[in-house]
Structure 1
Amino acid sequence: MSQSQLPVLIAGAGLASLLFARSLLRANIPFQVFERDASLSFRGQGYRLRLSTEGLDAIESVLDKPSFQRFYDHCGKTGGGGFTHLDARTGEPLDQQGSSGGGGGGSGPGNLGSRDGKVVGIARGDMRRLFMEGCEPYVHFNRHVVGYELVEGRDDAVRALFADGTKSEDGSLLVGGEGIKSAVAKQVSGGLLKVYDLGARGIHGQAPTTAFRSLGEGVFRVVDDTNTRGRVSIITNVRPNEMDDPSVEFGWTMVGVPGAIRAPNDDYTIVGETAARIAQELTRDWHPRFKPLFDDMNVGQAAFWKITCSTPTGVPEWTNEPLVTVVGDAVHGMTPAGGIGANTAVRDSALLGRLLREAGGNRPGLTAEYEQQMRVYASEAVRSSYGMATKQFQVNVDELSEVV
């Protein structure tokens, strides 16, 4: 890497940040990544991510050919073009809206395939690990970015501020990629970037692949519209390989409308038995076809999560700061409806990385150009994700909605 120019500073080591870092690594542009956690595996990695055509294309444009092939080989490929909707109590197919009686379950994208007619997916943790390859010397853990300052007397340098009161070295650009609670996003946008708690809640779980035999290969949404607490559903992607190997696990993602899933003391950081038992209780009367997913689950991997969304109308405009910008969930946090969030995040990484590569580093007008282009596709994605969530999870954002 060139040592003559100031490094690009990156807050957070999530998907968007690490793929962006890979773009800089390939372009020989110096960078430093600051992650608040102690390691990539410090916390649960969440559910499996479906990669769209746009998402895969973005990733392929960043990685060199051997790295992308290694990434793609690691992805699971599932046959079938879309969801199969099933009634949780009867085990029977539902209509394409995921409802047997006009409930408007919302089907999400009609065709989930992205390459070769396959649904391509990968676990979030694996995705981060593969993106990080080669970046390890430049990733610093236990460094919690809480803001930034422009360097006095210079118009080309910025510093990240850390929770312990220290500061980073001077950087040519600061990129906030530290998720929905991004301090960089809040500061650079003057508070215009907001994330709302939609009230819906979820549980992520895993079980041995043998528990999924009765489903077979495909992408399934199982809907329970008769739960006394309100609609509860799961989504799972059952891949064809390793179905008889009990040492391998597949995941499922459960979502409940507001009030259906309640963590003790409203503490959604709980991981393990408490979350597992609630999932098992909610599915106690489900059809035997689905019971092994919960009865045989890996109790220690169960985790709660809140469903949030950025401003539903899209990414707002703020006064551009040439030395600071944002990527991923920090600028456009989305609901899980439609599986759009991660795919939009990697598009940010590819776009911003390409602009820096073409310019050989930061230049006047670069962040404004990135933000102008990003707002177009990201705003469309946020609106789509929110629209599907209003149907699937029965949520809405208004003046009384809680801000995360």
Structure 2
Amino acid sequence: MAVSTRKPILISGAGLASLLLAQSLLRASIPFLIFERDSSFSFRAQGYRLRLSSEGLNAIESALEPEMWKRFWETCGKTGGEGFGTIDAKTGLRVPEPPDDNKNDKPKVPKETLTSRGGKIVGISRGEMRKLFASGCEPFIHWSHRVTSYELTPSGVHAVFADGSKSVEGEMLIGGEGIYSKVAKQVSQGKLKVYDTGARGIHGQAPTTAFKGLGEGVWRMVDDSNPKGRCSVITNVRSGDMDDPNVQFGWTMGAQPGVIKVPNDDGAMIGTPAAEIVKELTADWHPRLKPLFDEMDVSEAAFWKITCSTPAGVPEWPNEPRVTVIGDAAHSMTPAGGIGANTAVQDSALLGRLIAEAGGYSDGVTAAYEKQMRVYGSEAVGISYGLATVGFGISIDENSKTV
């Protein structure tokens, strides 16, 4: 059967998980269409870096064509140096890691594992990753199309957009549009929920020369002096670019509930308001760290809400053979441990492989995917939440506020 006569797989959202899934479909010559609410890739700040785990790298490698994988791997930064270290934000001194506590009277806090290949910490900016995953998919992306629901037909599914119009009929619909996914709410019959932890963060960037005082490594700067709660910044400093002022490194600030007050709680606000809050919070930090904030690119500063799925894990819902969800739409995570994106790409690789093996839509594909995804997805949510209870002082349950 000619590919052109087949109904496409419909994908909602053009984020990392959706685009990697599209790469799997492209590789298997299975037609697809992507619907993205933004008007272009440059619509929002994309600069912060993602740390890639062994599982994340394996998933990406399995989904991409060998030549594209080679390009991806060459684009990734590999950080060695002193590995992972914590710095006291006020003194600028490295804080010794606490010894392993084997006593049974304390809940176990998961350990963060950063190295993934060859003893190196592998990272890439979200924007670079998205650009690579989009390669070859551009003709199939429909911009400014926000999916608000779907309609099943006897032989397929339509995506329904915010203006009431509908997509062509597709074989399947995959919701990959993040924490506010309408597809997730509909397909799970409201069981998939994303909770607002109350903690907030700000992402920023600065020229690489501002990071020279830190040296190579993945660093967390912690300030416990604020009476409202802890504030910390994490960054990944790679050796290769440290002397080039035309290259920027990113950092991410996260704080306990009440420390970062976002004007009108508008998480979409970027630029000066976010930059001013960062500069105020870091005003008395050690001179070794100050250049990261004093020299920041104000236009790239952006707020974000720290959200999480229920710590109980990914819930069960009655399977719909033609509709499922991937990435943050299936399992929102805190930034603790950098686990979210690594789990999302595992979704893409798994679902892409199952669809490719079936040659497109098949009755059991989404059920098989969801069964496996719930296992590793629930484990990842648990680890992410466990790390965040310590790092961000959060506590949520089924009765907490949702987004």
Q: Given the two structures, how large is their TM-score scaled by the length of structure 1?
A: 0.95
Distance in 1 (CA, whole Å) between partners of 2:47 and 2:381 is 20
* Counterpart residue number, 2:192: 193
Q: CA RMSD in A?
A: 1.6
Distance in 1 (CA, whole Å) between partners of 2:113 and 2:26 is 34
* Counterpart residue number, 1:337: 336
Instruction: Indicate whether 1:219 and 2:221 are aligned.
Output: no
* Counterpart residue number, 1:325: 324
Instruction: Indicate whether 1:87 and 2:88 are aligned.
Output: yes
* Counterpart residue number, 1:116: 118
TM-superposed deviation, 1:365? 1.1
Instruction: Indicate whether 1:358 and 2:357 are aligned.
Output: yes
Determine which of 98, 112, 129 is the counterpart of 1:127: 129
Distance in 2 (CA, whole Å) between partners of 1:72 and 1:281 is 38
* Counterpart residue number, 2:249: 250
* Counterpart residue number, 2:69: 68
TM-superposed deviation, 1:277? 1.1
Instruction: Indicate whether 1:7 and 2:8 are aligned.
Output: yes
Amino acid at match of 1:50: R
Is the partner of 1:197 in helix, strand or coil? Answer: strand
Cα offsets for 1:215-242 (capped at 9, x unmatched): 0000000100111221100000000012
* Counterpart residue number, 2:158: 159
Please list every run of 5 or more consecutive structure 2 residues that lacks an aligned counterpart in the other structure: 100-105
Amino acid at match of 2:45: G
Distance in 1 (CA, whole Å) between partners of 2:337 and 2:111 is 6
TM-superposed deviation, 1:80? 4.7
TM-superposed deviation, 1:386? 0.6
* Counterpart residue number, 1:314: 313
Distance in 2 (CA, whole Å) between partners of 1:54 and 1:317 is 24
Cα offsets for 1:296-318 (capped at 9, x unmatched): 11111111111000111110000
- Within 5 Å, give how 1:167-246 maps onto structure 2: 167-246=166-245
Is the partner of 2:22 in helix, strand or coil? Answer: helix
- Within 5 Å, give how 1:279-318 maps onto structure 2: 279-318=278-317
The answer to whether the Cα contact below 8 Å between 2:206 and 2:248 also exists between their aligned partners in 1 is: yes
Equivalent residue pairs, number: 395
Is the partner of 2:51 in helix, strand or coil? Answer: strand
The answer to whether the Cα contact below 8 Å between 1:80 and 1:117 also exists between their aligned partners in 2 is: no
The answer to whether the Cα contact below 8 Å between 2:110 and 2:386 also exists between their aligned partners in 1 is: no
Distance in 2 (CA, whole Å) between partners of 1:113 and 1:316 is 30
The answer to whether the Cα contact below 8 Å between 1:83 and 1:110 also exists between their aligned partners in 2 is: no
23-32 or 110-119, larger mean C-alpha shift: 110-119
TM-superposed deviation, 1:246? 1.1
Instruction: Indicate whether 1:271 and 2:273 are aligned.
Output: no
Q: Given the two structures, how large is their TM-score scaled by the length of structure 2?
A: 0.95
Distance in 1 (CA, whole Å) between partners of 2:315 and 2:173 is 19
The answer to whether the Cα contact below 8 Å between 1:160 and 1:167 also exists between their aligned partners in 2 is: yes
Amino acid at match of 2:323: V
Distance in 2 (CA, whole Å) between partners of 1:341 and 1:307 is 12
**Relative to 1, partners in 2 of residues 1:111 and 1:331: Cα closer, same or farther, differing over 3 Å?**
closer
TM-superposed deviation, 1:269? 1.7
* Counterpart residue number, 2:261: 262
Amino acid at match of 2:32: F
The answer to whether the Cα contact below 8 Å between 1:81 and 1:118 also exists between their aligned partners in 2 is: no
Cα offsets for 1:151-208 (capped at 9, x unmatched): 1xx2x31110001110011111000000000000000000000000000000101111
Q: Give the percent of matched residue pairs that are identical in Structure 1 and Structure 2.
A: 64
* Counterpart residue number, 1:50: 51
**Relative to 1, partners in 2 of residues 1:31 and 1:97: Cα closer, same or farther, differing over 3 Å?**
farther
Distance in 2 (CA, whole Å) between partners of 1:269 and 1:355 is 35
Cα offsets for 1:357-381 (capped at 9, x unmatched): 1111111111101100111100000
Is the partner of 1:353 in helix, strand or coil? Answer: helix
Cα offsets for 1:269-298 (capped at 9, x unmatched): 211111111101101111111011111111
TM-superposed deviation, 1:47? 2.1
Distance in 2 (CA, whole Å) between partners of 1:378 and 1:89 is 37
TM-superposed deviation, 1:95? 3.0
Distance in 1 (CA, whole Å) between partners of 2:81 and 2:399 is 41
Distance in 1 (CA, whole Å) between partners of 2:12 and 2:266 is 26
Distance in 2 (CA, whole Å) between partners of 1:95 and 1:221 is 12
* Counterpart residue number, 1:101: none
**Relative to 1, partners in 2 of residues 1:123 and 1:306: Cα closer, same or farther, differing over 3 Å?**
same
Is the partner of 1:54 in helix, strand or coil? Answer: helix
Please list every run of 5 or more consecutive structure 1 residues that lacks an aligned counterpart in the other structure: 99-103
The answer to whether the Cα contact below 8 Å between 1:97 and 1:107 also exists between their aligned partners in 2 is: no
The answer to whether the Cα contact below 8 Å between 1:201 and 1:305 also exists between their aligned partners in 2 is: yes
Instruction: Indicate whether 1:384 and 2:383 are aligned.
Output: yes
Distance in 2 (CA, whole Å) between partners of 1:250 and 1:167 is 41
